[in-house]
A = this chain, B = another copy of it.
Amino acid sequence: MNEILEQTLLYDFYGELLTEHQKEIYEQFVLDDLSLGEIAEAEGISRQGVHDLIKRCNKTLEGYEEKLHLVEKFLSIREKIGQIDRLLESCDAVNTQQVLNGIREISAEIIEEL
């Protein structure tokens, strides 16, 4: 996974645990794709200050992921729902029973992971 996508997912799940100030800066960098220099100017702080704050946010967010694994679970459940969708797409008069069994299995796997 590329770094920005990973940071976006981490922020999606744990962003609410950052302070308002951290959120403001981090969003500009990760979601709005502004440069360190642009954020520094807009916020009236040094470029190094922005850099350090973002690094600290990354560390905080990664710390939550190490403990709670929400991004990992999310990606896995999304993949399983995708499998269900593909099974549904492939369904025809001949393989219906097989499709239903497949969905049953995947649905049990999702429950396990929740």
Could you tell me which A residues sit within 8 Å of B by CB distance? Answer: 13-14, 16-17, 64, 67-68, 70, 74, 77-78, 81, 84-85, 88, 91, 96, 99-100, 103-104, 107, 110-111, 114
Contact = CB atoms under 8 A, between A and B. Distances in A.
A16 to B, nearest CB: 4
This protein's copies in its complex:
2
B104 A85 contact: yes
Where chain A touches its partner, the secondary structure class is helix
A14 B111 contact: no
Contacts of A74: 114
5 contacts: A17-B64, A68-B70, A81-B111, A81-B114, A84-B103
A88 to B, nearest CB: 5
B16 A67 contact: yes
